[in-house]
Amino acid sequence: MKKLMWAGVFVVIGAAIVHPLVSTAQAAATTGTTQPSQSLGQAGTQSDDGQRQFAFLSQALAATNASPNGYAIHDWTILNNQFMNHTQLASLGEQLEKEFALTNAKLTTRSEQNETYYQVDGQWPNSTNVRIVLTSLPGTTTQSPSTDEAAQTVLTVTALGTGSAADNFARQYDGVEHMVAAVQGTPQMSAYLTGSLASEVPQQQANHLATMALQAVNASSVESLKTQWETSVSGYAADALTYIYTNGRRMNVQVAVHDDTFHHSTDVLVGTPIITTTY
């Protein structure tokens, strides 16, 4: 299956983001750089999803004593199993651009035999940077049917905001959910908050901060990756809005503590169900 990729050192789960009330099949997880695969269930679409996610993430971040300074909202959705040409993709992209009401929009497109690509970068109020990307691939047919790949059109939406205003986050989170659904997509939402500590911390303290963040949302530890410079711990909290499967276990919160040696500070990120960026 085609997946979007990130480069960097972090624990990412190749799994489906689902709503807790929806039964799912298991998806294998890896340590690597793979984006969640196609949804197996309906993501939350209630009007208070943004408020719930912000409250959950804020509670975990506050336990680390990090000063909040930003957030990200992300969606990755397979819209259909069709290859859309440039005209079709542009029409859909223009609809999304209008729905999202972006200002200062900049367009990037390309059309090749094996891919069409449509990207819009713009802004929402409060200096929130928004990127909408549509990618359509024709699929492949080989002599072995087991390796064939179906055509696919994928939508990704990323909103990066500064500060820690709950109203901004909640409104934008709910807005992304609504607008993805408006183009017949099933939202696969993720989000994270960022914060910082005024000094670098030793590994033992970084591990402690990650543990405190999980405990603050009553999450049990699932996986961890710890090095001299960064600590990444994932867990599962029964009350969280979404979850994914990793090695047969549920996961819906990830905490990362990373030394910023240039600024002599420490970055803290808390995401649900995963952190969808490098750190």
Q: Name the residue range of residue 237's domain.
A: 49-272
pLDDT of residue 25 exceeding 80: no
pLDDT of residue 37 exceeding 50: no
Residue 74 lies in a domain: yes
Residue 167 lies in a domain: yes
Residue 145 lies in a domain: yes
Residue 37 lies in a domain: no
Residue 191 lies in a domain: yes
Residue 263 lies in a domain: yes
C-alpha separations of 150 from 18, 24, 229 in Å: 22, 22, 40
* pLDDT of res. 146: 59
- We report the CATH number of the domain holding residue 91 as 3.30.2030.10
pLDDT of residue 7 exceeding 80: no
Strand pairing report for 152-162 and 189-197: unpaired
Residue 90 lies in a domain: yes
Residue 14 lies in a domain: no
pLDDT digits (tens, 9 = 90+) for 241-272: 889 999 899 999 999 999 888 899 999 999 99
Which of these, 266, 259, 273, lies nearest to 19 by C-alpha position? 273
The strand pairing partners of 226, in sequence order, are 231
Structural domain total, the chain:
1
The strand pairing partners of 189, in sequence order, are 75
Q: What global pTM score does this model have? A: 0.82
* pLDDT of res. 1: 31
- Residue 106 pLDDT class (50, 70, 90 cuts): very high
